[in-house]
Structure 1
Amino acid sequence: MADHLHEVHLSLAEFDRSQLPESQRDLRGDEFRRAVQDHLIAEFIDGAGAAEVVITGDRIIIRWVDTAEAGPMTGRGIEFLKAGDYKKGITTLRMALKRDPADADALFNLAMALSDQREVDESVELLRKLLADHPRHEQAWVALGVAHARQNNDADAIEALRMAVALNPNDGYSHKNLGAILSRSGARAEGIEHLRRATVLLPSDPATWLNFGLALEDDDELAEADEAYLKVIALDPTGQIGQRAERGRSQIAEKTFRGRGGDLRADAFSYCLGALERFEGMPKSEIQKITFEIAMLGRRGLDVNDPAQKYSLTSVSGTFSGLQLLCIEYVGFQLVDPSVDIGFDLSAEYAEARKAHGTR
């Protein structure tokens, strides 16, 4: 395949000084021109096809050759993005668009990169341009929906994502994003159905299951929401998404707990009183050991609404119900570090237990 020489002209006045090292951003005249030239040489003359960078007067001229080894500039820009080098990737894709403003791959990938970098307005502009020429580009509709959502423009986000779903009903990410935005916009029933479909198409994506659980919880479908949160924790046991699901499970447990027992739960009061009696005279280090063991056990989930004594500890003999362990944990942290929030409010029961126990 024959090599092709390309040339792009840019305005020196429009060069983004933030690309230069901080010590060079205020340079003027020939020093500024040399700094820009050195920067662009480092960016483009890397054995990947660039030939030279010339600055004459107020113009920047970049010449390069697309060779079989180097590949086109758009491909190089995409590779930079895949490697996590957004700065070089964005710069290279902008150059590709200078050469060919209608390059669909350059438009799409530059728009995606800008959206990720929160340059959302320009991202939307590029995606609109792309879709004007390629109205069936389903991934561009998804990207446009996400970009509009980042602008807090849910109406246009929903419109774009509906188009993406219509073009490809089996794209899980379209359903995932559309369902999440519909749910938070008040169309909860429709949003849940899209999220349910997304869990079928993306069964191993913890974020999809989390969005599904959040929507179900908001719709008071607590049992199914809890199942979704359990799925998240199984997929992401130590990550931030898994931790968010753990908080969701705690919220569901507390809602169910209060709903069944009114303002003050007699069983929780009794368990808190028992914990105070258990810990009386015990060294703080021992209280801490027991409390931390329950906290670690609780990461896998304690069923506070089942009275069965099905849990055991290594630091304490006997078997316990989920609610009993939660009360022991709550009291333990109140004694060793009251600033800890276990994600479950037992303050009313604890206060009454303290009165009954005579502690101050």
Structure 2
Amino acid sequence: MSVITRIEIMNVDLKAKVARSDAIQSFTKQETPIVRIHTDDGLDGTGYAYTIGNGASAVLALIRDCMAPWLIGRDSQHIEENWKSLFLLVHANAVGPTASLALAALDTALWDLRCKRASLPLHVMAGGAQQKVPVYNTEGGWLNFTPDELVAHAAQAREAGFRGFKVKVGRPHVAEDVQRLRVVREALGQDMELMVDANQCFDVPEAIRRARHFEELDLAWFEEPMPAEDLNGHIRLSASTSMPIAIGESLYHPSHFREYLQRDACSIVQVDVARIGGITPWLKVAHLAETFNVPVCPHYLMELHVALCAAVPNATWVEYIPQLDDITHSRIEIVEGYATPSATPGNGIDWNWTAIERMRDAHVVIDGR
């Protein structure tokens, strides 16, 4: 056994590296709940989640008041048992983002412990399917950027070796979106992938209309065209267009992905390790997608997703948005447009605890000793 004896819970607010706006929101900071789980054999593991601007207090309270006390005294090696038990413990608050984010912070910490105990990096412990994964850049494609800025950022992404570039869409009229995309496509040429993301802003008729106009630009995918809860709308859209439809960052349980896949409502799965509730359910979604011959291109959290994408055979892209630079020593290694997972035992993140202690605005210790 490896008994959990102490859990530290904290939050750090991280300022966005650039101004970030999409079709439904803008944000200048990321709240980052962090947990550190200690065991009686002298090991510790760190996990985290995130919120865009607000909501971390609810996540932290759920961990502090309910989940962490339950984990004290449990065997940290029983990953599946712990995840399922915690899910049922907060079942009145699930399925949804607050419970999933809280679960993710704890589950990723338990996986960090598991990998360290086995002296294996996450990508090997979780499957070891790939040595490297292509990376695309989102940080230069926000909706608040002008067409000239988009072109400049796309050129910079190409120069830096990225193999794809994503542009946010959702301007008031379809002609604006098309004009912005066309200048980027002309700047990139046909040998670099171009993706678009609507952040759930369209209704069904407008999503179908925009897809028809976007098709000529040969896009890699049309991401979150409509609210995630509109399954039937995604079925209609997928049937109406040749463009791949990507969904997943706003789904919070593997069964939701099953419904989309069973009904041909998407052709790319973008499961987010924080919003799905951790590494344990993330792997289930990735393998589920594989049975449907559907690729996984996860949303955000590149620091964890590099390893997870390398762990499964059907992951085809990692999204580049710098997130943890202010509180970590480690950086994503990108060579010729491919990200390589860390070989260090654990989740592959080298935390800067001095910076975290300086920046944190909450710190609670649940101690079972």
In the superposition, the TM-score normalised over structure 2's length comes to 0.28
> Which of these two proteins has the greater Rg computed from alpha carbons?
1
In the superposition, the TM-score normalised over structure 1's length comes to 0.28
Greater fraction of residues in helix: 1
Greater fraction of residues in strand: 2
